Chain A
Amino acid sequence: MLTLSDLVVSFGGNKVLNGISCTINEGETVGIIGPNGCGKTTLFNCISGLVANTSGTIALRGVEIQALEPHERARRGLGRVFQNFGIFREMTLLENVLLALESNTSVISGFLPWSKKTKGLSNEALSYLEQVGLAAKANEKAASLSGGQMRLLEIIRTLALGSDMFLLDEPTAGVSPRMKEDVASLIKKLQGLKKTVLIIEHDITFIQKFCSRVIVLNEGVIVLDDTPEKVRADSRLKEIYFGSDAA
């Protein structure tokens, strides 16, 4: 599904990603962990096209996409959920989902705010909101939501976009313990829909619920790439998080 080959990203001589190579298979759910500032978000930014890679290639279903604009990558099925919340707070929940649905229609369809097409899209958007129990708040500003609800909205919005590969950047950060369950069941739903999912998380126990594979990133390189059990047992994990003395 997604193949990264020797990906390098540097910011002014500082190599944040230093030769990342891996393949994510279709329908797989893969966790990505690593200490703060090791380049996890940068990896997602690079895959979705928000930062350019210095060298290396990114192939989606065998087609190289590293030269494409972010919106072109999105239209090829790459969906992104941001660590710092990518929802539009100043807009209603309905508008947030509408924006995604409209990306899949021609520019002129639904151009008139009162057209039948727009009505149809609004109903469709509402049905997405129902799936995460947010339909009652459809016309409220997204800024009024709790952290957990914002995550749910952003994930369901990405589903409405029709993405088949989801890049989730710390989907449980800023989410109350109770709401974490809702986020988890939504991710399970994505799995049920045979979506390919990459999840950045600090909480390896949370990741274990979904992932058969975990990639450990440190200082811009992949240190480990294995099952969660084996990664947990590996001494290198402790070394990365607690320094070599603790190992």
Chain B
Amino acid sequence: MSSLFEILTSDYGIHLAILIGIYLILSQSLNLTFGLGQLFNLAHIASYAIGAYATALLSTETEASFAVCIVASVALSGLFAITLGGIALRLANDYFSIGTLAFSAVVSALLINWKSVTHGVLGIAGIPRPVLGVTDFYQNGWFLILLLVFVVIVQAIFYVLMRGRFGRTLRALAEYEQAAATLGKNTSMIRNFAFLFSSAAAGLAGSFFAYYLNYIDPSSFSLQEMIFVLTIVIVGRPGSFFGVIGATIFLVLLPEPLRFIDLPSAYLGPLRQLLHAALLFGVVWWKRDTLFPTQRKV
């Protein structure tokens, strides 16, 4: 027992807990659009990247405070969702996912090529940890506590969104959009709001990611990352609030035992990706009949 406690409070345990916290925000917010709304949103990591870069740039270039950085990250990612929603949500089904993919490709290209702002592949270093009054969060233990406060708030908000009338309407749209519309539901407004909430939360996760690592570069926001978050939602069962929480913890921890196998570190990354890919494929295969139900139409 004491050894478990030691692991949990060790630097390694705290590191894992911080990763879980960041992914909890990221995956639960994707669960709203992709899970409950069946919107195959592939731009979620782009929202995450925008949040991360907003915090990274503001805190390194202007020494903006924690509150300013958080608000800016959330707002910019939200703005991104409004733009994306305005364009991509006009597209039907498969074209919608291609539209979101195109948007995330644009964001990736900007991160790499708009060097005067993003520093390209060199990334942004020296991001200071947040400081609140006399408290700073340079120690990971304290940073974890700060993060957990936000994790709890975000999960509570998404719980209300998903279990209440908003989620009910979103589910209705996913099942039979035309029937929902004739029941008085403003379908495009509901979807745009789902996008806004989801993207804004991803921006918050990005902000914490930048603060935690002190350094970000475009490689953290690759398609690989998108697939990882999608895997979490699919393994947790799309639309299931607690399922996605469980899957986040499970999937972040899953590759960790690999570290203790005597393996050259060059194999570790690819092995982890292989593990996730195999799991994703397995679940999609196993649940192929129910995972992506087709919309009914008149």
Contacts and interface: CB of A to CB of B under 8 A. Distances in A.
Interface of A: 41, 45, 48-50, 69-71, 73-75, 78-80, 82-84, 86-91, 95, 98-100, 102-104, 110-113, 118, 157, 161
B133 interface: no
B114 to A, nearest CB: 38
**Could you tell me the dominant secondary structure of chain B's interface residues?**
helix
A70 B165 contact: no
Interface in B179-201: 179-187
B227 to A, nearest CB: 26
A74 B182 contact: yes
Closest A-B pairs by Cβ, 3 of them: A103-B184, A86-B179, A70-B181
A109 to B, nearest CB: 9
B55 interface: no
Interface stretch (B4-12, B71-79, B170-178, B274-282): B170-178
A98 B168 contact: yes
B168 A99 contact: yes
Interface residues of B, number: 24
A132 to B, nearest CB: 17
Interface in B144-181: 160, 163-166, 168-169, 171-172, 175-176, 178-181
A87 B187 CA distance: 16
A5 B75 CA distance: 48
Contacts of A90: 171, 175, 293
Contacts of B287: none
Nearest to B166: A111
B134 interface: no
Given A70-B181, A102-B168, A118-B164, 10 more contacts: A69-B181, A71-B181, A74-B182, A75-B184, A86-B176, A90-B171, A98-B168, A99-B169, A99-B183, A111-B165
9 contacts: A41-B298, A48-B182, A74-B182, A90-B293, A98-B165, A102-B165, A103-B184, A111-B166, A118-B164
A113 B164 contact: yes
